[in-house]
Amino acid sequence: MSNPAVHYDVIDGIAVIAIDNPPVNALGHAVRHGLIAALDRAEADSAVKAIVLGCKGRTFSAGADITEFGKPPRDPGLHEVIERFDNSTKPIVAALFGTTLGGGLELSLGCHFRVATADAKMGLPEVKLGLLPGAGGTQRLPRLIGPEKAVAAIVSGKMIGAKAAHADGLIDAIVADPIPGAIDFAKTMLTDGRKLVRVRDRSEKITAAKADPSSFDKAASEATKRLAGVEAPAACVQSVRNAFTLPFEDGLAAERGMFMKLVMGDQSRAQRHVFFAEREAQKIPGMLPEVKAAKISRAVVIGGGTMGGGIAMNFANAGIPVTIIETDEQALTRGLDRVRQTYDVSVKRGALPEGATETRMALFSGTTDWARIAEADIVIEAVFEDMDLKKRIFEKLDAHARQGALLATNTSTLDVDAIAQSTKRPADVLGMHFFSPANVMKLLEIVRGKATSHQAIATAIGIGKTMGKVPVVVGNCDGFVGNRMLARRTTECERLMLEGALPQQIDAVVTRFGFPMGPFAMGDLAGLDVGWRIRKHRGVTAPISDALCEQGRFGQKTGRGYYIYENGSRTPAPDPEVETLIVETAARLGIMRRQIDDDEILERMTYPMINEAARILEEGIAIRPSDIDVVWVYGYGWPVWRGGPCFHADLVGLSKIAERLDHYAKATGDAGLAPSALLRQLAGESKGFADFGKAAKVAAE
Ligand code: T1G
Ligand code: NAD
């Protein structure tokens, strides 16, 4: 019975088994079944002298089918399929191309030989899903490239290029065309009578580590630094260590055991949630399939400051020529010099190859001449955060930009509709809210205005992906999604200091939870004057932070903020002067300070934001809860292995969160802390954000 997911053919005595399961040839049940059937056929056919394993479509298999995880396993399992290939008496050559990942690479490691196209990439990224390679990757990869390189590749989950893979012995040859190249390789191998050696039987690369594991230990600790609290990396290290300390079968069984434990755990569930949430975020309900992103061949950025320079780098990094428009030559030079320095630092660090600065700067031009705007397919404005100035800019843009060009503002706080209304083409206007540093941070909040067209949104999502960003479409409101929720945490930070906590205590709780940085250290990094200017503009106060700013304590840039930074260091040190200021301010406001425990701090650093997330969903500012999770994971450092605020809230339970919020609303007298209608409703129905998300999806279909 033919299986559409796996094709079988025989060419010159070589059986060609080709997986055909678009879009990424995931090794779902039908594929596994088809692979076994095809192998049986090849082995039974005496005319078949060797086997080539390949794939149809755009890539060799990108791994196990993640959608099957957490569901009852269906035989044959992937490890069983690989076992069969491993034990074949006929030589098998895997033909790699595109992105060969996870179980896909593991399957190829069960083959006797691997060939790949020059632009092929391969890797074991399971750690990014809170897992470890569970089909032999931690036992076979070290046998090919050595335990040190294997542990670095597996704990980072990074992809390896074909050239490096060939140099390391992961692949046997680079070919022009995967399957024909593999067939030629098989024929040569047969003619040469090359001996079949299973990867499992290779030991030359693990012997040294067996004798002296010190360099492995060094590689492992290097790979796992800054991953405290995350389960998968530690399991990866242990399993690779097993590869040179245990017999193969025992190492394989231990790997399987660790995999089964992780796949059922909250961390992997959270990371798989984020994997699919990131892709779901690009699906806009009601957008017709024929609405496609317009091609962007030329870009203009207005304002070459902190954000403008970084935004322009994203275009150049994607190979798109970009022009920066500034007020005068001096500002222009300043902006372009800063971009050049940023590239030079990346080249010096080895993050970019030699010569990259020149290659990328060649795509840059600068001018004060607005006529250049006519040549752009997209214009992104990043001038000072001033509404009148932005309105003037967009009026002028209307006169200069070609019809159909996408017009975007990088505002972080201003009303996108008001900006759009200053043009005669509000349908082509939206917000593209990048995060600082704009050439690094992955999140892109795409702010749709009332009049913004689906075409404009599709183009913004498209260029966002081309830049390597994670685009999320949000509605237009004060602070959009991320900053609006962050404001709730900032309010609690101020309150907690007055009530008894210190910046270093709060930051310790937040970093222990998994954030790379606490709110106070982050404030000092971004500059306390930014928030101060916004508060003054809005007429709101934050007694302690305002007092610090009045003393010129703007954070790292002035050497003092919530912390002190000795001699230009970037390491925050508690400053007794700040504690004194906090105690005096509380006394002046008649607030009795008390001992506050870490649990309360964590609740107040997360629950008010979760409550705001519910309001954001009520108002339709976010399309689905998982979008909010993507915003926080990619823009605000929410630990990916905790899934994001909404995913985490469902783990804690909305009724507990509602009960605690009621408590804090009473204790602080802040009605804004009381559970929102949606949170109370879901809690009342013993439901979670996930249920709301599902209902929203069904309603949109
Ligand atoms: N399983 C199921 N669906 C997958 C999938 C997978 N492995 N990979 C991608 N998809 C879906 C994705 O959700 C999207 O669906 C569509 O394919 C296109 O993907 C035992 C345990 C390969 C680099 O971690 O990194 O093997 O949104 O939009 O940008 O040890 O997909 O269209 O409905 O991302 O071109 C290990 C995961 C699995 C690789 C292509 N493998 N995939 O990127 O397209 S665990 C991975 C990717 C494993 C074994 C273990 C990327 C890509 P939809 P896309 P892309
Ligand atoms: P910045 O002060 O560093 O840069 C603004 C630049 O705009 C300056 O170089 C200035 O010369 C230029 N400019 C001013 N008027 C101009 C005009 N008429 N024509 C051309 N150029 C002009 O400011 P920034 O931090 O880059 O912020 C820019 C925008 O990005 C603001 O709207 C801000 O809210 C938003 N934003 C900032 C951050 C951040 O962390 N800094 C993050 C997200 C969004």
Cβ atoms within 10 Å of 367's Cβ, excluding its own? 15
Residue 49 identity (one-letter amino acid): K
* Among 16, 20, 24, CA closest to 105: 24
- Give me the helices (H) in 264-365, please: 266-280, 306-317, 329-348, 356-361
Q: Is the pLDDT of residue 4 over 90?
A: no
- Tens-digit pLDDT profile for residues 173-221: 999 999 999 999 999 999 998 888 899 999 999 999 999 999 999 999 9
- What is the three-class DSSP state of 160? strand
Q: Is the pLDDT of residue 701 over 80?
A: no
> 2-6, 385-389, 461-465, 507-511: lowest mean pLDDT where?
2-6
Strand duo 92-96 + 50-55: pairing: parallel
What are 249's two structure tokens? 């079968």
pTM of the predicted structure, to 2 decimals: 0.95
- Tens-digit pLDDT profile for residues 647-693: 999 999 999 999 999 999 999 999 999 999 999 999 999 999 999 98
In angstroms, the CA 354 to CA 230 distance is: 35
Q: Is the pLDDT of residue 1 over 60?
A: no
| Closest ligand, as measured to the CA of 381 | 2
Confidence of residue 458 (pLDDT cuts 50, 70, 90): very high
Distances from the Cα of 524 to the Cαs of 64, 558, 570, 575, in angstroms? Answer: 43, 9, 10, 13
* pLDDT for 233: 96
What are 161's two structure tokens? 């290029």
What are 341's two structure tokens? 């320095």
Q: Say how many Å lie between the CA of residue 281 and the centre of ligand 2.
A: 27
Enumerate residues lining ligand 2, CB below 6 A.
302-308, 325-327, 331, 335, 382-385, 389, 393, 410-412, 434, 436
Nearest-atom number in ligand 2 for the CA of 383 is: 7
Q: Say how many Å lie between the CA of residue 308 and the centre of ligand 2.
A: 7
Q: Say how many Å lie between the CA of residue 176 and the centre of ligand 2.
A: 47
Question: In three state form, how does the secondary structure of 442-503 look?
Answer: CEEEEEECCCCCHHHHHHHHHHHHHCCCEEEEEECCCCCCHHHHHHHHHHHHHHHHHHCCCH
* pLDDT for 68: 95
In angstroms, the CA 650 to CA 657 distance is: 10
- The DSSP annotation for 645-677 comes to HHHHHHHH-HHHHHHHHHHHHHHH--GGGSPPH
Q: Which residues are catalytic?
A: 106, 126
Distances from the Cα of 435 to the Cαs of 242, 511, 628, in angstroms? Answer: 42, 20, 15
Q: Are 137 and 64 in contact (CB under 8 A)?
A: no
Confidence of residue 567 (pLDDT cuts 50, 70, 90): confident
In angstroms, the CA 140 to CA 198 distance is: 9
Nearest-atom number in ligand 2 for the CA of 389 is: 18
Percentage of the residues of the chain whose pLDDT score is greater than 90? 93
- What is the three-class DSSP state of 196? coil
Nearest-atom number in ligand 1 for the CA of 259 is: 21
Q: Say how many Å lie between the CA of residue 62 and the centre of ligand 1.
A: 6
Percentage of the residues of the chain whose pLDDT score is greater than 70? 100
In angstroms, the CA 192 to CA 249 distance is: 31
Residue nearest to atom 1 of ligand 1 (CA): 65
* pLDDT for 510: 98
Confidence of residue 533 (pLDDT cuts 50, 70, 90): confident
Q: Say how many Å lie between the CA of residue 127 and the centre of ligand 1.
A: 14
Q: Is the pLDDT of residue 644 over 70?
A: yes
Q: Which residue has the tokens 């309001």?
A: 615
Q: Is the pLDDT of residue 700 over 80?
A: no
Enumerate residues lining ligand 1, CB below 6 A.
23-24, 26, 62-67, 78, 99, 101-103, 106, 125-126, 129, 131, 133-135, 137, 276, 279
